[in-house]
Amino acid sequence: MKLSFIAPRKKHFFSLFSKLWILFIALMVTFIMVFDGYIAIESQSFKEGIITLTEQREALELKIDEDDETIGIILRQKALAEEIASNNTLLKESLKNLFDLVPDQITLQKVQMERNALIIYGVTPTQDTFNFLLAAPLKSIFHTSQTTFYLTPKGWYNFVSINKIISGDGIRE
Protein backbone atom coordinates (compact mmCIF):
# COMPACT_ATOMS: atom_id res chain seq x y z
CA MET A 1 0.00 0.00 0.00
CA LYS A 2 1.28 3.22 -1.02
CA LEU A 3 0.14 6.33 0.68
CA SER A 4 2.31 8.87 -1.14
CA PHE A 5 2.13 10.00 -4.69
CA ILE A 6 5.84 10.86 -4.87
CA ALA A 7 8.91 8.84 -4.18
CA PRO A 8 10.55 9.55 -0.85
CA ARG A 9 13.66 11.70 -0.86
CA LYS A 10 16.52 11.78 1.44
CA LYS A 11 16.12 14.44 4.08
CA HIS A 12 19.35 16.08 5.13
CA PHE A 13 20.12 17.01 8.72
CA PHE A 14 20.89 20.64 7.63
CA SER A 15 18.99 22.36 4.94
CA LEU A 16 20.73 24.26 2.17
CA PHE A 17 19.81 27.54 3.86
CA SER A 18 21.32 26.35 7.17
CA LYS A 19 24.47 25.18 5.39
CA LEU A 20 24.85 28.61 3.83
CA TRP A 21 24.45 30.30 7.22
CA ILE A 22 26.98 27.92 8.83
CA LEU A 23 29.44 28.55 5.97
CA PHE A 24 28.93 32.33 6.31
CA ILE A 25 29.44 32.19 10.08
CA ALA A 26 32.58 30.02 9.68
CA LEU A 27 33.99 32.46 7.12
CA MET A 28 33.26 35.42 9.38
CA VAL A 29 34.90 33.70 12.38
CA THR A 30 37.94 32.88 10.21
CA PHE A 31 38.08 36.45 8.93
CA ILE A 32 37.81 37.87 12.46
CA MET A 33 40.56 35.53 13.72
CA VAL A 34 42.86 36.50 10.80
CA PHE A 35 42.08 40.17 11.41
CA ASP A 36 42.76 39.73 15.14
CA GLY A 37 46.11 38.08 14.32
CA TYR A 38 46.95 40.93 11.96
CA ILE A 39 46.06 43.51 14.63
CA ALA A 40 48.20 41.64 17.19
CA ILE A 41 51.20 41.57 14.80
CA GLU A 42 50.79 45.27 13.93
CA SER A 43 50.40 46.16 17.61
CA GLN A 44 53.66 44.35 18.41
CA SER A 45 55.31 46.08 15.46
CA PHE A 46 54.10 49.48 16.73
CA LYS A 47 55.41 48.70 20.22
CA GLU A 48 58.84 47.84 18.78
CA GLY A 49 58.67 50.99 16.66
CA ILE A 50 57.85 53.05 19.75
CA ILE A 51 60.86 51.57 21.58
CA THR A 52 63.11 52.28 18.58
CA LEU A 53 61.79 55.84 18.21
CA THR A 54 62.21 56.46 21.95
CA GLU A 55 65.84 55.36 21.75
CA GLN A 56 66.38 57.56 18.70
CA ARG A 57 64.74 60.51 20.48
CA GLU A 58 67.00 60.06 23.52
CA ALA A 59 70.06 59.83 21.25
CA LEU A 60 68.94 62.98 19.42
CA GLU A 61 68.37 64.81 22.72
CA LEU A 62 71.92 63.93 23.78
CA LYS A 63 73.21 65.09 20.40
CA ILE A 64 71.24 68.33 20.75
CA ASP A 65 72.74 68.91 24.21
CA GLU A 66 76.24 68.28 22.83
CA ASP A 67 75.55 70.59 19.88
CA ASP A 68 74.20 73.28 22.23
CA GLU A 69 77.37 73.02 24.30
CA THR A 70 79.49 73.21 21.15
CA ILE A 71 77.51 76.22 19.96
CA GLY A 72 78.06 77.88 23.35
CA ILE A 73 81.80 77.29 23.09
CA ILE A 74 81.84 78.63 19.53
CA LEU A 75 79.86 81.72 20.56
CA ARG A 76 82.26 82.38 23.44
CA GLN A 77 85.21 81.97 21.06
CA LYS A 78 83.51 84.27 18.55
CA ALA A 79 82.95 86.91 21.22
CA LEU A 80 86.56 86.60 22.33
CA ALA A 81 87.77 86.85 18.72
CA GLU A 82 85.60 89.93 18.15
CA GLU A 83 86.94 91.47 21.35
CA ILE A 84 90.51 90.76 20.28
CA ALA A 85 89.79 92.19 16.82
CA SER A 86 88.27 95.35 18.28
CA ASN A 87 91.17 95.64 20.75
CA ASN A 88 93.62 95.22 17.87
CA THR A 89 91.81 97.89 15.87
CA LEU A 90 91.80 100.18 18.90
CA LEU A 91 95.48 99.46 19.52
CA LYS A 92 96.30 100.15 15.87
CA GLU A 93 94.47 103.48 16.04
CA SER A 94 96.14 104.31 19.36
CA LEU A 95 99.58 103.60 17.93
CA LYS A 96 98.82 105.69 14.87
CA ASN A 97 97.65 108.52 17.13
CA LEU A 98 100.74 108.12 19.32
CA PHE A 99 103.09 108.32 16.34
CA ASP A 100 101.16 111.32 15.01
CA LEU A 101 101.60 112.89 18.46
CA VAL A 102 105.41 112.59 18.42
CA PRO A 103 107.04 115.73 16.99
CA ASP A 104 109.85 115.58 14.40
CA GLN A 105 112.50 116.75 16.91
CA ILE A 106 112.00 113.68 19.12
CA THR A 107 113.11 110.25 17.94
CA LEU A 108 111.51 107.16 19.44
CA GLN A 109 113.71 104.12 19.96
CA LYS A 110 111.28 101.76 21.64
CA VAL A 111 107.61 101.75 22.67
CA GLN A 112 106.17 99.22 25.10
CA MET A 113 102.45 98.99 25.58
CA GLU A 114 101.03 97.15 28.54
CA ARG A 115 97.45 96.85 29.69
CA ASN A 116 97.39 100.17 31.59
CA ALA A 117 100.80 101.59 30.84
CA LEU A 118 102.87 103.00 28.02
CA ILE A 119 106.67 103.09 28.25
CA ILE A 120 108.48 105.21 25.68
CA TYR A 121 112.24 105.17 25.06
CA GLY A 122 113.72 107.83 22.81
CA VAL A 123 116.08 110.72 22.15
CA THR A 124 115.27 114.43 22.44
CA PRO A 125 117.46 117.49 21.83
CA THR A 126 116.52 119.13 25.16
CA GLN A 127 114.39 118.33 28.16
CA ASP A 128 112.23 121.36 27.43
CA THR A 129 111.52 120.14 23.89
CA PHE A 130 110.26 116.86 25.30
CA ASN A 131 108.29 118.52 28.10
CA PHE A 132 106.53 121.02 25.80
CA LEU A 133 105.97 118.87 22.71
CA LEU A 134 105.34 115.38 24.05
CA ALA A 135 104.97 115.35 27.85
CA ALA A 136 101.98 117.70 27.89
CA PRO A 137 99.84 115.55 25.54
CA LEU A 138 100.89 112.38 27.43
CA LYS A 139 99.86 113.93 30.75
CA SER A 140 96.45 114.74 29.32
CA ILE A 141 95.94 111.09 28.31
CA PHE A 142 97.45 109.21 31.28
CA HIS A 143 96.86 109.59 35.02
CA THR A 144 100.54 109.48 35.94
CA SER A 145 103.51 110.30 33.77
CA GLN A 146 107.16 110.05 34.87
CA THR A 147 110.11 110.82 32.66
CA THR A 148 113.80 110.19 33.31
CA PHE A 149 116.49 111.87 31.17
CA TYR A 150 120.04 110.70 30.50
CA LEU A 151 122.59 112.97 28.82
CA THR A 152 124.34 111.44 25.78
CA PRO A 153 127.91 112.26 24.70
CA LYS A 154 126.49 114.24 21.74
CA GLY A 155 124.62 116.58 24.07
CA TRP A 156 121.18 115.15 23.40
CA TYR A 157 119.05 113.41 26.01
CA ASN A 158 117.89 109.81 26.12
CA PHE A 159 114.61 109.55 27.92
CA VAL A 160 112.37 106.90 29.44
CA SER A 161 108.79 108.02 29.88
CA ILE A 162 106.51 105.78 31.97
CA ASN A 163 102.84 106.68 31.61
CA LYS A 164 100.13 104.83 33.54
CA ILE A 165 96.37 104.77 33.71
CA ILE A 166 94.84 103.99 37.09
CA SER A 167 92.13 101.37 36.56
CA GLY A 168 88.51 101.98 37.55
CA ASP A 169 88.85 100.35 40.97
CA GLY A 170 91.81 102.56 41.91
CA ILE A 171 94.45 99.86 41.70
CA ARG A 172 97.35 100.28 39.35
CA GLU A 173 98.01 97.40 37.06
Please state the domain count of the chain. Answer: 2
Range of the domain at 92: 17-101
CB atoms within 10 A of CB 116: 15
pLDDT one-digit tens code per residue, 42-55: 999 999 999 999 99
Q: In this structure, are 23 and 86 located in the same domain?
A: yes
Q: In this structure, are 35 and 56 located in the same domain?
A: yes
Last residue of a domain, one of 101, 124, 143: 101
Last residue of a domain, one of 101, 131, 160: 101
Residue 124 lies in a domain: yes
CATH value at residue 115: 3.30.1360
Helix, strand, coil share (%) of the chain residues, nearest 5 = 60, 20, 25
Q: In this structure, are 127 and 167 located in the same domain?
A: yes
Q: What is the pTM of this model?
A: 0.50
pLDDT one-digit tens code per residue, 120-165: 999 999 888 888 888 888 888 888 889 999 998 988 999 999 998 8
